[in-house]
Structure 1
C-alpha cells in the first residue's frame, strides 16, 4: 500500500507518522511518500519520520520528494494537509478582519474565505494529477476550510472525503470524563465543518444509551471551560457545540480578545521554529511533547481509521466525516457537504440517519451553507463581486459596509494567490 501526504513538510506530519507506525496492523503502509516544495523542512520531517518508523519496528519505506507527479503515481490514497501562503498568509487572515470589527480566524469568516480562495484552485490541480496517476485513489482532505475544499473536490468528480479532528477530540475528552474507552463513545455529531453540535453521546454504538444529559449534569463546567463558553449556556442548549461556535455565540467578546493578544498564527510560527529545530536532532525518534500544542490532536488516529476503511482494511465502519448531504439534513441541498457520522467503506462514505435538528442549529447551518455556495463560486470563478457576495452572506459579517471593506482588504492581501486579481 502506498500513501502520499501532500504538505508532508508540515510540522503536523510526525503526528501522522506516529499513527501510521502505531496502527500498522490497521493500515499496513508499505510506502509513505511525503511531498512538499519546501525542501529544507521536508528533509527534517522526513528524517524524523524514518526514525519513528525504525523505533517502532515499522518496515515501511519513507520517501521524500518535491515532485508531486512522482509522489502520487500509484498511490492508493492521498492525504492533503497543505497551507497555501504558509503561516504568513495565516497571520494576515487573522489580522485584517479585525480592522473591520470582525473575527480574524483562518477557517471561518473573512479569513476563512481568503484561505478558501487561495486553496481551492491549488487542491483541484493536485486532484486532477492524482486522477491521471491513479483514477481509483482516494483523496482525504484535512486542508481547511475542509467543508468548502471537500465540496470542490466532490463537485469535480473526485473520490474524496473530508476529515476534521474536532469530533475525535471530543470523543476522547468525553470518554475520559465518563471513565470509558474511547471506542465505546459514539457521538450524535451534526453540522458543517467547524460548525457542529453534539446532540447525543451514546455508549456502545449508534443505538446505545444517550448519556449526554448525565455528562452535562456531572461535568458541564469542565466541558464549558474547554469551549470557553458559560456553563449556563450549555445548560440552556442541552447540547455541546464545537469550540468554533464561540465565534458566533460570543462574536464581539472574541473580537475584543483577539485585538489585545498575539495572533494564533504568531504563536504557531514560533512553535514551528522550535519543532523544526527539534526534528533536526538525529537522536529524536518520537513525536515531541511540544507537538501537542501545535493542534491537530488525534488527527493521526482519525486519518488511519478513515484510510483503512476506504481501502478495504480494518477501519471503523462508522466515522465522523465530511461528505455530501444526500438528503440527510432535509433543510440543506443534497450537494451540501455536511459533517456527520457515516458508514465508511470501499465505496466511500454514506451518512447515517440524523434525528430532527433544532431550528436553532438548522438555521445557522442553512445560512453558512449558503455562504459556502457563494464562497466556492468565488474560488472557482473569481471576481470582486463574488467575493463581496460571499462576505455579505456570512453570518460573521452580514453588513454591507463591512463586506465592502473586507473585500478590498482580502484582495489586497491575497493578490499574489488570486489569478484573477
Structure 2
C-alpha cells in the first residue's frame, strides 16, 4: 500500500505530543477572580486559549480588575507567544501605581502561556537564570512598642528570613508629645504630596525613631538585613535629619521618604545620608525610572512588577539600573501567582537583591497554587522551578472559591461584556 505524505504525518503524530502548537496558539478569553486578604485584595487573571492552555497573572494589590478586563478585546485572537508585540499594543493603557496593574498582570499571564507553549520556564524566555534560589524579605507592620516589634521581627528571623522590613515614621510619633509639628488635619489625610503637607519631625521625634530602631536592632542583632518604610508625608529636611540619625544601624535601605516624581529631592537626600535610599513601587515602565537612575538619585530601585510592566519590562529595567551601578529589589504584596512571576524575573536579573513577602501571617498562602513546595518559602528563599511557564501546576480551585472577595464572589466570572470594547487606540495621526 502506498502511503501519502499526509498519511505519514498523521501516523507520526500519533506518537508525538501535540498538546501545543505555538504558531497556531490563539487567545480566546480573559476572565478575573477577585480574592481578598492574600494578603490584600488581588484580582487574578486567567487567559484561555484555543488549545486548552491557560495562563495566569495578577493585577496589582488593591487595584481595580477593570484595568485588566478593558484589555480583553485587544487580546482575543492574538498569539500569546508574541509577548513583545502584544505588550507594545497594550502598554499605552497602563500608568503609574495601581493603574499599571492590568497591563502588568496580562504580561505575566502571557509569559505563563508562552512558557507552557514552548515547554520552558519563564526565566528562559528572558535570557536564562543567574540563580536557582530567590531571597525573600519579610515585611512586618510596626507597633508602637519597639520591644514587641523586635520580637515580631525575631520570629521572622527564626523562620529563616535573612532580610526583614518594618514601618518607621510619623505613625509612631503622633501620640508622643513634642515629636511632630503639623496642621490639625494632617493626621487624617494623605491626599497631599509630602512637600505640601506641612508636617515636620522635631529633634525629639528624630531621637524617638532612632531609639526605636536601636531597640529593635538590639533584639534581632546585626547578622540580618533590616529595611524601613512608611516614613509618612514629611518634607525633605525632616527626611535628611531622620536618615542621618539612622546611619549607625546599618539599614539595608530607607524607602519612599518622598514621592518618586521629585528626582532632584531624591538626589539631595541620597547625597546627604550614608544610608541606601530606595523607591520605585509606583513607577510604570523603564522610562519612568530613567530620571532617577540617570541622576544617580537612589541607591536601590524597588519596582513592583505588577505595576512596572511585568516580567520582561522589569528585567529590562534591572539591566538598565545595573549599568548605572544600582541594585534592584522587588516590591510585592500578592498571591503566589505574581510571586512566581517575580521569582522568574529575579532568577534572570543579575543585580537582583531581594523579593518582598507581605503574607508571612497568611496561613493558607502557599496552598493557593499546586505542585510547588510547601511552604513555598523555606529558609527565607523560594526555589526556582524548572517547569514551564510560571512553574506551578494549577490554582487550588476550592481554596480560591473560599477566598473570593465577598463583594464579588464569582469564580472567574464570564466577561463577554468586554468583548466588544472598541476604540481608535493609535497614538499618532
Q: TM tier, shorter chain?
A: under 0.3
Of Structure 1 and Structure 2, the greater helix share is in: 1
The structure number with the bigger radius of gyration is 2
TM-score by length of 2: 0.26
TM-score by length of 1: 0.27
